[in-house]
Each structure stands twice: as C-alpha cells, then as structure tokens.
Structure 1
Amino acid sequence: MIVRPRPHWLRMLFVWRGSILSDIAPQLIGTTLLAVVVTLLHGQVFSWKIPLTFVPFSLIGLTLAIFLGFRNSTSYARYWEARMLWGSLLNETRSLLRQALTLSDDPAPARALAQRLIAFVHGLRHQLRGTDGSADLQRLLPKADLDRLIQLRGKPSMLLLMMGEWLQAQRQSGALAPVLVPAMEHHLGRLTEALGGCERIASTPIPFTYAVIIHRTIYLYCLLLPFGLVDQIGPMTPVVVAFIAYTFFALEALGAEIEEPFGMAPNDLALDAMSHAIENVLREMMGEAPRPEVEPQGFILT
C-alpha cells in the first residue's frame, strides 16, 4: 500500500504509481486509437455509416455510473472493514499484554504470551496472503511451539489456543487470580472475532456476476462511443472518448483491486507495515528494542 502526504494539485495530475493508469493503459490506448480511426473515417465501416447518436449513450452512461458506484461502495466497505479489523488487532494485543504484565503476580511469563501475540499477527498476515510465514514464526517462537504449528493450515487459530493455554497455566499456578481470567479471555475472544472477520472477507468475494456485467458494459460502451460522438464533436472525439474511457476503466480497476484488501497491490492494506508496527509496540511494552523495519511515510498506527 502506498501511504504518503497528498501532493500538490499539479503533481497530482501526473502521479503514476498507485494511480491504476499502468493497469488500464493497454485498453485505454486501444480505445483511443479506435476513436482516432472512427474520426478519420467519419463513423463509416466498409462504406456503411453507423447511425448512432449520443442519446443512448447518455442513458446507458447513467445506468453504468450507478452500477460502478455500487461496486466501488461495496469494495470500499470491504476494504474499510478489513482496516478496522486490523486496528482491533493492535488494541486487543496490547491490552492483553498490558494485563498480563500488570495483573499477574509474576510478569516474567508474559514474554511467552507476547511471542505468541506477535506470531499471531504475522501468521494472520501470511494466511490472508497465502504466503509462507515460516521465517517469521521461527524467529518468534520456541521449538516446542513451532512443532505444534508446522503441519497446520490454520496457524493463527492454534496460536489463539496456545494463548488460552497460557492463561490456563497462569491461573493454575496461582500467578493470576481466577477472577481476572474473564477480563483477559475477553480480549482473546475479540482476537478470534478479528480472525474470523478477516477470513470471511478473504474467502467471500463480491459475486462474479457483478464484475462480468460491469466489465462487458464498460467495454461495449467505450468501443461504440466514438460512433455516437463523431458527428457532433468531430476531431475532438478521441479526446472525449479517452477521458470517458479513463474514468470508467479506472473505476472498474480500482474496485477490483480494493475488493481484496489483503493483497500486495499498491492500493491494498499495508499489512507488512501494520504487523511490524504491532510487533514493535508489544516489544516496547516488554522493555525490548523494536525491530528496525521502516514504516511507509505517513503511516499512522491506529
């Protein structure tokens, strides 16, 4: 994810990275070239004049804008919910570690809980992205914990179980009063909810039919648009077609990109920065030096 201060209005016109333009450049160039050919031929194909006016495009454009608005609103709702879930990971992990450090008679065992909390955050990131998290888990967990996780697909779920076992051990040893266990268990429950919410977003995309309808309509609209404009605006047809096609293609591409917020595209969530930031917060609470990962400029940990 690209996180940076908003540039000057003039620079904003020429921003390339993260602007979706690189993704839609081929179809945008193709549509513009078609508009140039249609303008040169005055809307004729093999000596047959295609009798189109701008009226049907006005009606179709309104319907298309409604569909695109719905698609983008739905995609952004998924994106924002995912961001809220990762914000809750920060709140719940540091609250749980704070209670382990301050409510227990012996705060030394809290280090094991902190290791599992950090491993849970990194493990969730790797699970959502389908990447290999072995390196992170090996540097964070002792061998006994690794042996329990190595063959499992749902590593974050097992880490939650292991954190519950830590609570059980503290209660049984008398280091943690039984009356305090429900308060800490509440935070484990919230972590479970965050895990389930992220898994739901990752495994339940927007119905494919919406993407097919919008994709087909946009392309047919942009390919036929030059024939409806050439008689009214003449040489300006390619310019207007390029502008309208850019708007529709970009909105479709952006909706498709943020629909899956856990990926590694420029506009997806900054999971690397967030997971390392959570790790550093927990390490500082334990009195340890933070790891020297560099967070994106402008990234706010909330």
Structure 2
Amino acid sequence: MIVTATPGIKQIVREVWKPLALLFVWDVIVTATYFIIPFTAPSLPLTLFGSALVLFLGFRSNSAYQRWWEGRGLWGLMINASRNLARQARNLLPEEAREAKRAIVLHQIAYVHALRCQLRRQKPDTDVTRFLSKGDPALARANIANGLLDGTGRRIDDARRRGWIDTIQQAAMEAVLVDIANAQGGMERLKNTPLPVQYRFFPTLFTHLMCLLLPIGLVETMGLATPLGSTVAGLMFLAVLAIGDDLVDPFDNSPHDLPLSAMCRTIEIDLLQAIGDPAPPPLAPDKAGILW
C-alpha cells in the first residue's frame, strides 16, 4: 500500500507511459488526417457516450473500493481476535500449562503468516515455519492456515481435558477461533470471487473505445492542440479504469494492495510481547513509500 501523500514520480511514469504514448500517437494520426482530409464529427453522441461511461466507471470503482475496504476490515478483525486469543491463553491457562500457552500463541503467529502467503498465492515462507515444530501436521494440509487453526482448537480441548480450563473457558476461547475462521472465510471469498466478467470486460472495452473516439470529436474544435487535450482527457478515463483494477483484489501483493506483511508483523509483535518474548520492530515503508 502506498502510504505517502502522493505516489512517487517513478511509480507514476512506470504505470502510465505506455497508454500515454499510444494515446498520443493515435491523436497525432487523427489530427494529421483532419488537416489532410477535413471531416466533421457530431459532438452529441460523444458527449452522451462519455457521460454514460463516467457513470459506469464510477460504479465499478466504488465496487472495487468496497472489496478493498472489506478486506481491510476483515484484517482488522483478525488483529483483534489474535490479541484476544493470546490474552485468553495467558490469563486462563495456569502456570503449569506454560508450554501450552506458548504453543497457542506461536501457532497463531504462524497462522496469520500462513494466511498471508495463501492470499498472495505464495508458498509458506520462513515467517511460517520458524514458529512451528519440524514436521507439524498442518504443513501437509491443502489449507495450511486452517490446519493451524484446527491444531489450536485441539490444544484448547486438550487443556480442558487436563483440567487446566473448564468448559465455559473453553467455549470462550472457541468463540475467538470462530471469529478467526469467519474472518479467514471472508478473505478467501474476496480472493476467490472476482468481479463479474461484465464489470471487468465492458468497462475496459468502452474506455478504450472512448479514447479512440476522443480526438475525432475534439479535433474540429482544438485543431493542432488535439493531441495534448485528447491525451490528457483519455488519461483521466484510463486512470479511473486503473483505480478499479488496482483495488479489486486487495491481496494481490502489488503497491496498491493491503499491507499484509505489516499487519502480520503487528500481530507478531503484540503476541510475542504478550508472553514476554522479544519482538521484532514494526515494518516500515520502503524507499518508494510502499508498505508491504
């Protein structure tokens, strides 16, 4: 996620130079053709088409931002639930269950890192394995994060069978695991369910068509300034289209997505400090102003 007030110049140039160059070349071709073979284009159809396209793109961008914000809300719930689980393990389990406390907390840290990797379509990294014992059965599961959550549930049940907690305390801890599982399910729904194809195909098609028609409708009025004016106007349409593309998948590991690594580090710090272990520093934005 870009956390600076404005994206860096290099980032902007990297994203827009190709469509800008293509737009400008097309605008120059249309302008040159107009002065060689003058033509007249009706302005009303272009105005109506542009107005309809703006509404279409605005609705699509709002839908994409709603997905992005829902993903952020679900990760906020994950952070809170992880803190609650660590606090319950620390306060409800007796001193003799010290190793069980640590196991629950460390497995929750491994869980959020595993979930981060799954949402980004990455293999489990060292942030997952360093909190687990060698050969942990959860690593053999298709859904490693869910396997780790199941393992935490078994540890809580084992604590109840050993008499360390009662059934009411077990139910309270299980309720937190349910919140965690519900948050994971919401994230997987966002990841595995793209916007309907109509929201992805038609806005792209109509935006590109609009960019092709712009210089034809503007050249009679703007003359030699058409390449500049049409390119800037086309860039605005392409920018709105790109905003929707950037936000539609909040877990895609791009500069515009949610900072999952930073949020996992926040959970790691809070949970390690809850059991008195040394914790790493928070993640900071890189030189480009991007927090991953």
What is the TM-score normalised by the length of structure 2? 0.92
Tell whether 2:262 aligns with 1:268.
no
Q: Which residue of 2 aligns with 1:190?
A: 179
Q: Hey, what's the Cα distance between the residues in 2 that align with 1:80 and 1:255? A: 13
The percent of aligned pairs where both chains have the same amino acid is 33
Residue number among 115, 131, 144 corresponding to 1:124 in the alignment: 115
| Correspondences of 1:48-67 after superposition (within 5 Å) | 49-67=38-56
Alpha-carbon displacement from aligned partner over 1:9-42 (angstroms, at most 9, x marks no partner): xxx5x842554x5233212211122212322332
Deviation (angstroms), 1:208: 1.6
Q: Hey, what's the Cα distance between the residues in 2 that align with 1:174 and 1:272? A: 37
| Correspondences of 1:131-146 after superposition (within 5 Å) | 131-144=122-135, 146=136
Q: Hey, what's the Cα distance between the residues in 2 that align with 1:149 and 1:164? A: 12
Deviation (angstroms), 1:222: 0.8
Query: 1:50 and 1:209, CA in 2 relative to 1: closer, same or farther beyond 3 A?
Result: farther
Q: Which residue of 2 aligns with 1:32?
A: 24
Q: Which residue of 2 aligns with 1:278?
A: 267
Amino acid at match of 1:232: T
Q: Hey, what's the Cα distance between the residues in 1 that align with 2:15 and 2:35? A: 29
**Does the aligned pair in 2 maintain the 1:31–1:222 contact within 8 Å?**
yes
**Does the aligned pair in 1 maintain the 2:117–2:125 contact within 8 Å?**
no
Q: Hey, what's the Cα distance between the residues in 2 that align with 1:287 and 1:80? A: 33
Q: Which residue of 1 aligns with 2:9?
A: 16
Unaligned runs of 5+ in 1: 7-11
Q: Aligned pairs, how many?
A: 287
Q: Which residue of 2 aligns with 1:169?
A: 158
Alpha-carbon displacement from aligned partner over 1:116-147 (angstroms, at most 9, x marks no partner): 10011000001111111142232110125x2x
Q: Hey, what's the Cα distance between the residues in 2 that align with 1:299 and 1:283? A: 25
Amino acid at match of 1:36: V
Q: Which residue of 2 aligns with 1:157?
A: 146
Deviation (angstroms), 1:247: 0.8
Amino acid at match of 2:262: A
Deviation (angstroms), 1:67: 0.8
Alpha-carbon displacement from aligned partner over 1:155-211 (angstroms, at most 9, x marks no partner): 111111111101101111111122211111111000000110000000000012222
Q: Which residue of 2 aligns with 1:9?
A: none
Q: Which residue of 2 aligns with 1:251?
A: 240
Q: Hey, what's the Cα distance between the residues in 1 that align with 2:247 and 2:76? A: 17
**Does the aligned pair in 2 maintain the 1:18–1:267 contact within 8 Å?**
no
SS state of the match for residue 72, structure 1?
helix
**Does the aligned pair in 2 maintain the 1:111–1:286 contact within 8 Å?**
yes
Q: Hey, what's the Cα distance between the residues in 1 that align with 2:185 and 2:232? A: 42
